[in-house]
Structure 1
Amino acid sequence: MPHALRDAQPAAGRASLYTEITERIIAELEAGRLPWVQPWGNSEAAPSLGLPRNVTSGRTYSGVNVLILWGAVFAGGFSGQGWLTYRQALSMGGNVRRGERGTTVVYADRFIPDRERRRAQEAGDEAQAIHFLKRFTVFNTDQCEGLPEDIASVPPPIAAGLILPRAEALIRASGVDVRIGGTGAFYNLQHDYVQVPPPQAFFEPVNWHRTALHELGHSTGHPRRLGRDLSGAFGSRKYAFEELVAEIASAFLCAALGIVPTVRHADYIGAWLEVLREDDHAIVRAASQASRAADHLLACLPEDATAIDDRQAV
């Protein structure tokens, strides 16, 4: 994460920040657009595949910031996923062009008020921290000038129709029992396995991998892995929230592996809207859990998998 995290907001500001983020995502969903898919479905803007990153530290953004920055790339027609703060641009010998508007991203933090410390000390129990968001502004490298020539360089996009062998390697390396066959795609929590129809059953072969990654996202919730609450019944808010986590995790994984993501569960949009309208913290929590799920699976990928010829078909 960048270092410009100074402007912590007062209580009302923090609450409005959650609302602001949620309302932005709801507007996208109501318009039939999905912010974690858009950047690669727009013909006018063709940004490089991958997760947004801070160009000074090289670290990728996570959680809801990925959704925010992907949406900004789509809206701005930016050519890459590189971001930096105003001060970071200056430190690299460049500057933000006059008139450019930055994108607000957030950083989750927590603190323990002095009053709570005193209460805990007197009661002899553990002090409870208060969670809150800080906001700061970043700019895409396309909005800057005078930066080093190589700072905005991005890897070339994967040619249309190709499936990265790394995706198959990730599925194998995950250790999850993935069973190919049948007519439905699902994750069975009780017996801890993923079921996916064969690739030939899909209209586009690439969708098999996107679907498998979605179900693998669910599997990270198993108690032996990340231990999310997977007890929601079909049609419940809890069920819809978990579907949102898995779908965003799939999009994050697709980005990391260089696969153009699509949304498999368009019929869940209505349920997602209900979840977001009911709880303006939901998208932040879902994106955070999706990041953890994607990171858990990517950590399984052997280092030598990067040497696999990306031109080879799966």
Structure 2
Amino acid sequence: MGQDLKVRNGGTGSRRAGRARAGSAEPRTLLYDEVTARIVAELEAGRFPWVQPWDSAIASPGLPRNAVTGRAYSGVNVLILWGEVIAMGYANQGWLTFRQALAAGGCVRKGERGVTVCYADRFTPETEKERAKADGDEARAVPFLKRFVVFNVAQCDGLPEQYHADAPPLREQVPVAENLIAATGADFRIGGARAFYCPSGDYVSVPPQPAFRQQIDYYRTALHELGHWTGHPSRLARTFGGRFGDSAYAREELAAELTSAFLCAALGIVPTVRHADYLGSWLEVLRADNRAIFKAASQASKAANYLLAFTDVGHARAAA
């Protein structure tokens, strides 16, 4: 989970966060201290491999198909479209053209980029037909290759339900977490097989909840990505890393994961060892700065306060 390194006005959220900070912060501070201590202890105990907590197989297996006609693509188009599903994390193997999306009652979202596929066939030109008739022999067909652009159904809005994959199993809801996600007003997108925050587009994307091996991890992951969302220049204005593995990237990941742990604890969701496992993969980077964990915890506290201020939980804590 991490950064995929619209700008929404953060004024209202900032005022709310200010009201939250005006109240007694002692109970929450103690909570943050406990969570931070637990995570630091896990990190000092050793390094653990991080395992993606959702099942990538949710991106339905099978041949890519035209979502309108139901016809499966073949040949090189299968490889092209499979590669795009993997690269973009789409949860559906259905594809259609821009015009097909409009004809179906939907539309391709503005800014989405399609994939070029090929259509191979043969045709007989009129001149060849005339030649064959004059010579008394059989007309020869000429092969041709036509290119056109298709879009995954996940790139479209307003399509009838029939164009989407079968409905997933019912998900396990945590109302207080659902309320927080909705209250932030974040551009929160559900789908695909990757979780990330996109700073340039200012949106969060997470896999659908039934894709997670433990559905509660959906909320832990969502809160992690909302932690990144708070770092936007219009909100808390943190520095995002330029690329995977650099120091700034590692620090932002640490802050986001601690934000998730703090929020989980505040919302009654038990922070699991998954948080420590993920942080452990960055331990060698953080060893270079013995204050990094403390700075990250401070940033996470501010981010958690910012997000909680949107909810009744935050207002109640601020008034305590």
Q: TM (normalized to structure 2)?
A: 0.46
Structure with the bigger RCO (C-alpha within 8 Å, sep 6+) is 2
Q: TM (normalized to structure 1)?
A: 0.47
Q: Would you tell me which structure has more helix in proportion to its own residues?
A: 2
